[in-house]
Amino acid sequence: MQLFKNLFSRPLSIQLTVTSSNGFHLRPVAQFVNEAKSFECSVEATFHGKTVDAKKVNTLLSLSLEKEDTFTLTIQGKEAEKALKVLQTRFNTLMQDDKEVVAIEKESASYDGEVLDGDIISKGVAIASTYLYKTEEIQHNNTLSFNAAITQTRKALETQGTDIALAQKALLVSLEEKSNSLETLEQNIHKEIEALQGTKLFAKSVDYQDILQQVKKALGLEVKITFPSEKFILLADDLLPSEIAMLANNTEVQGVILKETSINSHTAILLRASGIASLIADTSKIPLDREILLDSFAGLVVLTPSSDDIEKAKALQEKTNVQKAHSASKRFDTVLTPSGKQIKVLANVGDIQSAKIAKDEGAEGIGLLRTEFLFKSVKPSLQAQTDALKEIFSTFDDITVRTLDVGGDKALPYIDIPLESNPFLGLRGVRLFRTHPEILSEQLHAIFVASKGKRIKIMFPMVSNVDEFRKAKSFAQEVAKTHTIDIRNIDFGIMIEVPSVLFLIEAFNEVVDFYSIGTNDLTQYLFAIERTHPLLKVDELSPVVFSALETVVKQATKPVSICGELAANTDAIEKLINLGLTTLSVSPKSVAQTKETIRHV
């Protein structure tokens, strides 16, 4: 009995390295903490001699982990071994999915007037008088207690449902555990902001300020922002993420210049999403209440624009507006290359929201439906899967569904996969049919029911040989037979991401209905470099990659599409089309731009 207790008390440790250029910031930290909380064990993170509770967002953020920082994760308790495996893979996935926000390349421009250089947040041109950000506090009658105000703020953030709002909610949950009044909350927030001073994560301090302001509002203390009724360019040290929507939707703002933010802050992310021309520059050098010119294509503020400067900017403004309107107006049009070849542009989606965005952006179908969104910390029921899939299937006529793809860098607490020394080469993708048939059986059942006779493509991930495909398809047919479902409307195909398939195309031609090339994993396996590796990187534009794609296209006798990130790379699209690929599947927000690029290859 004592030995049994000792096994539970023995701590397990692993070293994790931050590979994202954005650092281990609020959004991924919030998701990591949420995962850690699901296990009955303690989870601690240690960096530079400081150890914190990794089940709390604010304490984990306080380590200020930046790119290439390596910290130790120590887990102790009942579910320690399981937690270690899941959290390791979850961390790697977060690092991989956290795309680097790179500095936007400045275009060349010359102006007569005095100019101030800055860093680009969002491209555009603005000509208007400057206006300094100002607020005033208004105290309304308050009937809420502090705890009720916290609860109301939490629910409001949850209702918003965005990644940023949910991350702020997780941050608030961590803060409220040690705050019993507005005063203590404010003190704790100031301490957390001070801890971020001097780090690349300091830009995230606006999220703390945003939370505080929202709690104050729930307590009746409104921070009112005043804006002019005419067109203006806003000058501010920084803005709160919650202020961007109001600025974009309810004012005549033409541009924004901020002094203290960074290009990867939540404020910057939301400014880009809103399409407001924005720049980071020293606002103290910009005159107030005077007309200036903001050219965030060139990363310049023209402090004393001449009449020629104004005319030049207006011409650029008009050209930009015409291009945007042109791309937007043609996003639903059939796409033809200059030579007249028709190319289909589909979307990679991961939930109903992204499917709706894809529809609005002009996608012609779903080339990759990642079903992992259904499989979170709690196993979904058959009904929940069916309902979600029905809603997505109603959005398009052309839909390709990928069966559950976990393992490697993606883990789930209720799918028990033994700890592997190299999970990218272990139990993942189609190999789950062998180890977890009950999960796949229920998923296939849900797909069949949700399709209601509509033609749907099902593709199996990580297939490495013909026998694997045959067994997976036979398994699916048995599921249909068991539930007496006619699946003549279902096509079956494979993701091409394992190099062995490149040598087996002729054999696969005899059994599959279609192919979809997943260039992300295919590139990883071609070069034997893990996608989440902190130091080694692969050139996705390497001739080796295009040679592999050419092999597939030339030998395949069934339809071939491509759904990896390469499909949206403007430097690759012409090469892909010249190889003979006629179906590209990209992220929803890349659809219109991809279509426009195709029209000019």
Of the candidates 373, 376, 335, the one whose C-alpha atom is nearest the C-alpha of residue 354 is 373
Q: Which of 25, 266, 436, 445 is catalytic?
A: 25
Q: Are 182 and 216 in contact (CB under 8 A)?
A: yes
CA dist 268 → 121, 164, 192 (Å): 6, 12, 21
Q: Which amino acid is at 390?
A: K
Give residue for tokens 């409307």: 489
Strands 232-236 and 125-132: parallel
Residue 398 burial by Cβ neighbours in a 10 Å radius (0-12, 13-18, 19+): middle
Whether 48 is catalytic is: no
C-alpha count within 13 angstroms, C-beta hemisphere, residue 555? 16
Query: Helix (H) and strand (E) counts for the chain?
Result: 21, 23
Complete DSSP assignment for 202-254: GGGHHHHHHHHHHHHHHTTEEEEE---SS-EEEEES---HHHHHHHHHHS-EE
- Distance, in Å, from the CA atom of 464 to the CA atom of 73, rounded to the nearest integer, reads 34
Strand (E) or helix (H) holding 574:
helix 573-579
Given the structure tokens 């692993």, which residue do they identify? 14
Q: Which residue type sits at 78?
A: K
Q: Which residues are catalytic?
A: 25
